[in-house]
Amino acid sequence: MTEHRKIPVAGAKPAGKSLFERAENLFEGDPFKAAPVPKTLARPVNRRPEPGKSLQQRDATVSSETFAPAEKVEKLAPAASVRVDFGEEQHHVDRELLVSNGLINPDGPVTALLEEFRIVKRQLLKSVRSGDSDKSRRILVCSPLPGEGKTFCSANLALAMAAEKDCQVVLVDADFAKPSMLSLLGLPKGPGLMDALANSSIEVEDCVIPTDIDGLFVLPAGHQTNSDSEFLASKRTEQVLDRLTRGAPERILIFDSPPALAASPAADLANHVGQALVVTRADKTGQSALEDALTLLSNCRDIKLLLNDASFSPSGRRFGAYYGYGS
């Protein structure tokens, strides 16, 4: 058999230890032993000392705070959200005016109109309670074109939602060109949302009108301006809307906006709300107009449709007919 031993070379020095043997001696027989860690770290060269402290004193302070035991580290408590409340003076809502305008009478009996808007508000409240942000509590009510009943629906929705036992509603008149909510409810005129957006010295909560309907507040549109779209697109809008619900998780905002295809505020407000209720009128709203309106409101992730003035029901349901009959 052939031998595999090394052939000695004449004049060569005897072979020493191999590379692995020398490495084993270097780590004292344990090839997996970790390298020693210095007790103090090198001082950063770009750190400035605090006033009144030397760089060495600051390093010692940072070291003791940074590497303190876990049980000694105190967590900072989250800053409490200060509740923003409205005025205490209540203004009377004319009930007879509500009935003459075809709106829900909060002091009257249960009607078919109330039952229909109870069904509508349940879907909206479901999204409010399952939402993960304050935007879900902001509901935009609009229509593609004028005359489709968006103000009628927004007012009735606010009246129906204010009847909830654990809910407050702020009905915002965001139709700045043609505001009608105050006259619809019989409330006095005053400053409103646009005034708070245009003037930083005006707090929006001072413009809110408390009513004698439990849980219902109204924010007027304010004075007219030629820059309503620009004010709505400013950073101040989010700050103003945040104040309306700050510290009040039970508070919901309902915006009555202009028609989406007739004025730009509806598309601007879609950036600040979590839900949009698009009112369409039976036998009047065209498919192309509805599609264009939905495109303009696409910045709102949750869009619902409401068919208004429909006289035909495939199931034959008639809400409200059950009430008022004796047993």
93, 187 contact by CB (below 8 A): yes
Query: Hey, which residues does 210 pair with through a beta bridge?
Result: 217
Quick one: average pLDDT of 104-111? 94
* pLDDT tens-digit map of 135-155: 999 999 999 999 999 999 999
- Looking at beta carbons, which pairs linking 198-205 to residues 24 or more positions away fall under 8 Å? 198/222, 198/225, 198/227, 198/231, 200/236, 203/243, 204/240, 204/243, 204/244, 205/84, 205/85, 205/86, 205/87, 205/243, 205/244
Confidence of residue 133 (pLDDT cuts 50, 70, 90): confident
Confidence of residue 325 (pLDDT cuts 50, 70, 90): very low
State yes or no: pLDDT of 18 exceeds 70: no
Residues 233 and 227: their CA atoms lie apart, in Å, by 10
DSSP notation for 226-244: TTHHHHHTSTHHHHHHHHH
State yes or no: pLDDT of 102 exceeds 70: yes
264, 292 contact by CB (below 8 A): no
Judged by average pLDDT, the poorest of 43-57, 188-202, 285-299 is: 43-57
Confidence of residue 216 (pLDDT cuts 50, 70, 90): very high
| pTM score of the predicted model | 0.73
State yes or no: pLDDT of 158 exceeds 90: yes
Q: Please report the pLDDT score of residue 13 as a whole number.
A: 54
Q: Which two tokens stand for residue 168?
A: 């407050």
Q: ∠ CA(57), CA(63), CA(69), 5° rounding?
A: 140
Domains and CATH numbers, the chain: 95-308 (3.40.50.300)
Confidence of residue 74 (pLDDT cuts 50, 70, 90): very low
Quick one: average pLDDT of 156-179? 95
How many residues would you count in the chain?
327
Q: Please report the pLDDT score of residue 159 as a whole number.
A: 97
Confidence of residue 201 (pLDDT cuts 50, 70, 90): very high
Confidence of residue 327 (pLDDT cuts 50, 70, 90): very low
Quick one: average pLDDT of 106-133? 91
